[in-house]
Chain A
Amino acid sequence: MAALNLDKEMIQSCRTIAKKIAYDVQDMIDKHTTISVERATLRMLGIDGVDPFDVPYVNVVTNHLLKVGNLGLGVSHYMAHAIYEHRLSPQQVAEEVSKGTLNLSKYTDINKPDLKILNPYFTEVFSRIDESTKARDHWLLQTKNKTTPLKYVIVATGNIYEDIKQAVSAAELGADVIAVIRSTGQSLLDFVPYGATTEGFGGTFATQENFRLMRKALDDVSKKLGRYVRLVNYASGLCMPEIATMGAIERLDMMLNDSLYGIIFRDINMKRTFIDQYFSRLLSAYSKITINTGEDNYLTTSDAFEHAHTVLASQFINEQFAKLARMKEKYMGLGHAFEIDPALENSFLYELSQALMAREIFPEAPLKYMPPTKHMTGDIFMGTIQNALFNIATVTSHQSIHLLGMMTEAIHTPFVSDRALALNNANYIERAFKDFGDEITFKKDGIVQHRAEETLKNAHELLVTIKEEGMFETLKMGRFAGISRTEFGGKGLNGVFVKHENYVNPVLDEMLKRLEDTK
């Protein structure tokens, strides 16, 4: 592969600084829990379903505790008492609370129950996750290992049954990964909708049943094609940890999960996001789910040429947060994008340089490379060429996850035919440029090498600044995507709780223990 001659010491220095930045935030994370972490914990105890008003039982329990208890103690504290005293299962406890026949804050038995009473319940859910992980391993063993990038397309009809038809079509035409885009606005819902859904806007609601239906359909087509088709959804927004839980159970293979995206682009409170991403990533690390980070989004807001270094700096930070969550590098799908203005001379050289740079700096990471969106105009014929150049950069620089561009970007959510044309375009370039990247070298100190060196240097400088001012101040200064967020602003802050000195979470403890054991 063509070497860029990057400064190895500077790369190491970036990692050291990013580690310090992440550790500072981790101090805050370890002292807090959130309502969504607690709901995810309830799901890990096997609680599922909704009450007669369509409120998920996990929300019923946490809402009840908001009124009568202290979530800073953790739901496990209350659940252990109720299970011990009333001889009920967690699901039954939730149903009794829903009926108003059980108040979790009152215990008549003064004996402190042993938390071990929860073990059989979460052990069962862990077993379900283990089965899913094993099934995936089995599928992957049967699938020929690809040396070219995984072709990733989205479906977004709003109706899970239509999504399935389109996903099957895409898989048959060569797609390796199917992402079901969520209904717009789901990230701001503080509950996870329930059951199969057929009405969504710009996407389909992420529900456990929708996950199951799509996984089943993709398993069927995988069998037919003799290769495993991966499924993706979003562990992001206010229910990030819960969706990570559902995804682990239903065998999703990738989860969009960024440490900063929700803060910057959805105006979700930063504490809430950092705490939630930690729990989600621990679970994804345990379930061998590849996360996808969202640095590409910075470039839809800021200029892709001037702000390339912000993407790299954020990748270093996302990497360290993932490491804190015990995640192996091979599951860190760090994101970046092909978004430089086509009007710029040599834009392709700059794009290629940045793509190669990411590959060289994160050799083990399954990099996620995003297509042009900002400069797609509605001219579908020009758009096809832009996507072709993007595809060439992707294959040449050995990206791992190749999100295909749609010629109808900026017009509508893709038609079944848009996706097919995108796949044909990518299939052709995948064949034609298969070993191109290994055949070429770059001129010493030429445009490509120089661009990478400069971007790395600027990222280093930015990381130094972030370390000095701290993550919270950095977000306030709007250093990523030019958007400013404050520590006490944004949605979901009222769901953040300081952990009481007696806080307990045996699910979290078990997850950490199991991750240590498999190290």
Chain B
Amino acid sequence: MSQKVIRPYGDTENDGKIQLSFSLPIPQGPFGDEAAKALAIKMGVFDPQVVSSIALSDEFSFYIVYGTTTHLVDLETIKVESQEHESMSKDEVESFIETHFNEPLVFVGASTGTDAHTVGIDAIMNMKGYAGHYGLERYKGIKAYNLGGSVDNETLLEKALELQADVILISQTVTQKDVHVQNLTKFIELLEAEQVRDKFIVIIGGARINHGLAKELGYDAGFGPKKYAFDVASFAVQSLYQKARKVKR
């Protein structure tokens, strides 16, 4: 990176071109267009152009705006919270398990709370996996139990204890008004109340999840979009190894 301070790139270096789209609770028309421009200017967009405005009803209108942002980003101030591990391939994870562990590692996963969407947990756990990456069920040396959707925190913990899980995976897909954060917080509180937090590696995942949020909530790791079974497995097996769980001596 030669440049330290940057602007968006439209078709010339540092031209700062950006696009915005939003709705306003007013009728479409010249007045609406001016209101949209005024908003863009307040957002730091210089010389905004409303390239499209559409009536959504008598009460709402929608705008697409192009303009030049007056802001800069200093790259030296950017910090990324990320897992401190290297992702291994499925084969590498399997041979890591074979080399280092005495017995199969048990993963228990669920989409918890009121969330019935199992897309996320299925992508990580089911045989088929997602986007060509097999799920944990297909990994040698891993016993994976996918409990599905709408599992409450208590049931998840009960199952994890019963199956003697090493790793607990929680997925949160659909969420509104941050209900997922409350639910995730409660699970950690439950583990602590039952004095079993140390028994498990606990990992969360979902479209709105990132590693920083996971750490903040007391989880071992968090995986957002574009993370697959091998990423989750890599983190889990390395953490278990560090914790010396089920490790060959």
Contact = CB atoms under 8 A, between A and B. Distances in A.
A267 interface: yes
Given A202-B175, A417-B23, A267 B150 contact: yes
Interface residues of A, number: 38
Contacts of A341: 131
Contact of B176 (A202, A301, A306): A202
Interface stretch (B54-62, B99-107, B189-197, B230-238): B54-62
Nearest to B21: A417
Q: Most A CB atoms within 10 A — which of B150, B175, B225?
A: B150
Contacts of B127: 482
B128 interface: yes
Interface string A299-335: 0111100100000000000000000000000000000
Interface in B199-223: 207
B118 interface: yes
Contacts of A201: 114, 175-177, 179
Contacts, number: 87
A215 B117 CA distance: 29
B35 to A, nearest CB: 15
Contacts of B148: 265, 267, 483
Contact of B150 (A169, A172, A185, A424): A185
B147 to A, nearest CB: 9
A167 to B, nearest CB: 10
Contact of B116 (A173, A265, A306): A265
Interface string B145-168: 000111000000000000000000
A169 B60 CA distance: 8
Contacts of A416: 23, 56, 60, 62
B59 A169 contact: yes
Contacts of A266: 116, 149-150
Contacts of A424: 54
Contacts of B31: none
Dominant secondary structure at the A interface: loop
Interface residues of B, number: 33
A378 B56 contact: no
Contact of A410 (B59, B131, B207): B207
B33 interface: no
A420 B23 CA distance: 10
Contacts of A11: none
Nearest to A184: B114
A307 B131 CA distance: 16
Contacts of A158: 176-177
Interface string B77-121: 000000000000000000000000000000000000111111100
Nearest to B63: A417
A418 to B, nearest CB: 9
B25 to A, nearest CB: 9
Contacts of A172: 57-58
Contact of A420 (B62, B122, B126, B225): B62
A285 to B, nearest CB: 27
A488 interface: no
* Cβ-closest 7 pairs across A and B: A185-B114, A169-B57, A184-B114, A417-B62, A417-B23, A420-B56, A202-B176
Interface of A: 158, 165, 168-169, 172-173, 184-185, 187-188, 201-202, 265-267, 300-303, 306, 341, 343, 373-374, 377-378, 410-413, 415-417, 420-421, 424, 482-483
9 contacts: A158-B176, A169-B59, A201-B175, A266-B116, A266-B149, A267-B150, A301-B122, A420-B54, A482-B126
